[in-house]
Structure 1
Amino acid sequence: MAGSKFIPDRGLTVRMVATMALLGVVYVAFVVLLVLVGVPWYLVAGLVAVFAVIQYFSSDKVAVYSMGAREVTPEQAPELHAVVDRLCAMADMPKPRVAVAETDVPNAFATGHNEKNTVVCATTGLMRRLEKGELEAVLAHELSHVAHRDVMVMTIAGFLGIVAGFLTQIALRFALFSGGGRGRDQNNPALIALAVVVISAVVWAVSFVLTRVLSRYRELSADRAAAYLTGQPSTLGSALTKITGDMARIPSKDLRQVEPFNAFFFTPAFSKKGFSLSQLFATHPPVEQRLAQLGEISRNLGTGA
């Protein structure tokens, strides 16, 4: 955790290493299979290199831009900067850049692949609804993601799924416009495109499930780290309850606009409880599970539930 005072989480570390190792195996198999079915190796290598560079170096900028957020100075957002300054001092970690997103959806997120380009962002809807202690607890949760380096891991983990999804779309379009090709030649472009679709779809599904499992655990880990750092687990629970309760009052149009960021949000932006088809596809654990964990931490700390 690079020297921060957030509590260490070996379970998270093991899961991140295991996820990256499994995705690495899937990635190698993915490239080999694409080459075996007839996709030129230089095309595969080129696509992988391009997407890797874009994903690694621009993930923070893309996230901030897509959310319509803007970086703010201490003069522009003194209270928000004061909270971040205090938390960084408590955690003994470098201060990230601070941003604000102009949306009524109450949420926060952290992004960036290393300490130099990390951004922590809060929405205007979040700052308007929460008390100072609640805002501090939520931002402590987000900063713990940075300290645990799971933001970087999730960025890298999502890379394989992006490449697979892109190749699936390209292959589908190629298969449709190729008209099925001619004859039974194994180098038939349409058959190659179909094989790419199948392989990419399987790879995307595997990477999707692995990242979702890791995402749910990392949220519980961030809750624990924030609760122990601030010493106020009940305050984090209060913020979580308040945010999830108010989410149902946000217009569906606004929620749909931010749904792509749910994996990085403090809590997913869904208007209805139980939106996920199953827990297999959820980015976050159930609110009840998060509150139960915070209640247990309260009892351990003797602060009351």
Structure 2
Amino acid sequence: MAGDRFIPDRGLTVRMVATMALLALVYAAFVVALLWVGMPWWLVLLVVVGVALVQYFGSDRIAMTALGAREVTERQDPELHAVVDRLCALADMPKPRVAVARTDVPNAFATGHSGRSTVVCVTTGLRRRLDNVELEAVIAHELSHVAHRDVAVMTVAAFLGIVAGFLVQAGMRFAFLAGGGRSREGGPAPAVVALLVVAVSAAVWALSFLLTRALSRYRELAADRAAAHLTARPSALSSALTKISGDMARIPTRDLRQVEPFNAFFFAPALARGGFSLGSLLSTHPPVERRLAQLAEISRRIGREA
């Protein structure tokens, strides 16, 4: 449940439940299809369950390690902890762990599958560019992800695509090495089985990709709404979003590519300059213009109610 002061979002809840239900159906069909094409049951169990456990229980450590983030105590960073403490008290929610990533990419993210593992992390590049009010608005956005538990849902939702992507790569390599000879039992050639696994895995990856992308875009809009109402300063979040999006183009392409795999969890996507976009259907975030328009409407509404 979200904290008492975070506005409830029935649309987000419905979308999370629907996405998880659809992914569960895709997951079941995936396992059946792998068994049907001849993949040994023990290998299916090892890959699917193994990756699921690593993804679920190790997501926070994986993200922290990949981004070079480290947890900081109140003594090490009293200013950052003071912001998180104030917002958690305002939202009436437990305080997550706090971390800092030493990178000039201006961003923030939340990760973790449960209360104890949840981490809210900001980059040094973000803190250098934003004032205190803007930083508070961004952290409120990330805390709303934690309060609404969509961080855990996205962690679970992402694992199916990871499994499918792994099997696509492994299957292609195996098919190349196995050749076209038939199996000893007279069944289909190992290369044929491997290519069938690749085909099934690719279809599953595409479905899970589209489902999680749709949920990711909505959760960002929901977090913007929740943060704007919690802080009562939609303009601060708009200002932070404008600064971050504008400065992202000045970050070296190499640095952006290093963090791009974590776009779905970022406050704003890290996009390499000159990159080709396949459109909003494949994006992890809604367009900046849509986010700013929503915040402007919330600001007008708050102004009328004041």
TM-score above 0.5, yes or no? yes
- 1:65 is matched with 65
The TM-score normalised by the length of structure 1 is 0.96
* Cα pair 1:4 1:147 within 8 Å, conserved: no
- 1:233 is matched with 234
- 1:86 is matched with 86
Cα deviation, residue 186, structure 1: 4.2
- 1:300 is matched with 301
Cα deviation, residue 185, structure 1: 5.0
Letter in 1 for 2:19: T
- 1:265 is matched with 266
**For residues 95 and 276 of structure 2, what CA distance do their matches in structure 1 show?**
35
**For residues 185 and 301 of structure 1, what CA distance do their matches in structure 2 show?**
72
* Cα pair 1:232 1:303 within 8 Å, conserved: no
SS at match of 1:262: helix
Cα deviation, residue 47, structure 1: 1.4
Cα deviation, residue 52, structure 1: 1.3
**1:143 matches 2:146:** no
**1:221 matches 2:214:** no
SS at match of 2:110: strand
- 1:119 is matched with 119
Cα deviation, residue 277, structure 1: 1.6
Return closer, same or farther for 1:257/1:274 CA change in 2, 3 Å cut-off.
closer
- 1:48 is matched with 48
**For residues 19 and 203 of structure 1, what CA distance do their matches in structure 2 show?**
14
**For residues 272 and 299 of structure 2, what CA distance do their matches in structure 1 show?**
29
- After TM superposition, the structure 1 = structure 2 runs for residues 94-173 of structure 1, keeping only pairs within 5 Å, are 94-173=94-173
**1:194 matches 2:172:** no
Aligned length: 304
SS at match of 1:74: coil
**For residues 275 and 128 of structure 1, what CA distance do their matches in structure 2 show?**
29
Cα deviation, residue 4, structure 1: 3.7
* Cα pair 1:249 1:271 within 8 Å, conserved: no
**For residues 292 and 21 of structure 2, what CA distance do their matches in structure 1 show?**
31
Mark the runs of 5 or more structure 2 residues left unpaired by the alignment: none
**For residues 218 and 82 of structure 2, what CA distance do their matches in structure 1 show?**
29
Letter in 2 for 1:149: R
Cα deviation, residue 274, structure 1: 7.9
Cα deviation, residue 19, structure 1: 0.4
Cα deviation, residue 3, structure 1: 4.2
Letter in 1 for 2:28: V
Cα deviation, residue 188, structure 1: 2.0
**For residues 7 and 273 of structure 2, what CA distance do their matches in structure 1 show?**
33
Return closer, same or farther for 1:169/1:138 CA change in 2, 3 Å cut-off.
same
* Cα pair 1:35 1:41 within 8 Å, conserved: yes
173-182 or 217-226, which moves further after superposition?
173-182
- 1:208 is matched with 209
**For residues 98 and 242 of structure 1, what CA distance do their matches in structure 2 show?**
23
**For residues 274 and 148 of structure 2, what CA distance do their matches in structure 1 show?**
29
**For residues 4 and 191 of structure 1, what CA distance do their matches in structure 2 show?**
55
- 2:292 is matched with 291
**For residues 213 and 135 of structure 1, what CA distance do their matches in structure 2 show?**
27
Letter in 2 for 1:262: N
Q: Deviations over 1:131-188 (max 9, x none)?
A: 1000000000000000010000000000100111111111111100011223895432
* Cα pair 2:2 2:144 within 8 Å, conserved: no
Q: Deviations over 1:275-304 (max 9, x none)?
A: 522111100000000000000000110079
Cα deviation, residue 109, structure 1: 0.2
Cα deviation, residue 209, structure 1: 0.4
Return closer, same or farther for 1:153/1:181 CA change in 2, 3 Å cut-off.
same
Cα deviation, residue 5, structure 1: 1.9
Return closer, same or farther for 1:85/1:70 CA change in 2, 3 Å cut-off.
same
**1:20 matches 2:26:** no
Mark the runs of 5 or more structure 1 residues left unpaired by the alignment: none
- 2:254 is matched with 253
* Cα pair 1:56 1:113 within 8 Å, conserved: yes
**For residues 173 and 146 of structure 2, what CA distance do their matches in structure 1 show?**
39
152-161 or 263-272, which moves further after superposition?
263-272
* Cα pair 2:2 2:8 within 8 Å, conserved: no
Q: Deviations over 1:11-34 (max 9, x none)?
A: 000000000000000000000011
**For residues 207 and 32 of structure 1, what CA distance do their matches in structure 2 show?**
16
**For residues 48 and 218 of structure 2, what CA distance do their matches in structure 1 show?**
28
CA RMSD of aligned residues (A): 1.6
SS at match of 2:139: helix
**For residues 121 and 224 of structure 1, what CA distance do their matches in structure 2 show?**
20
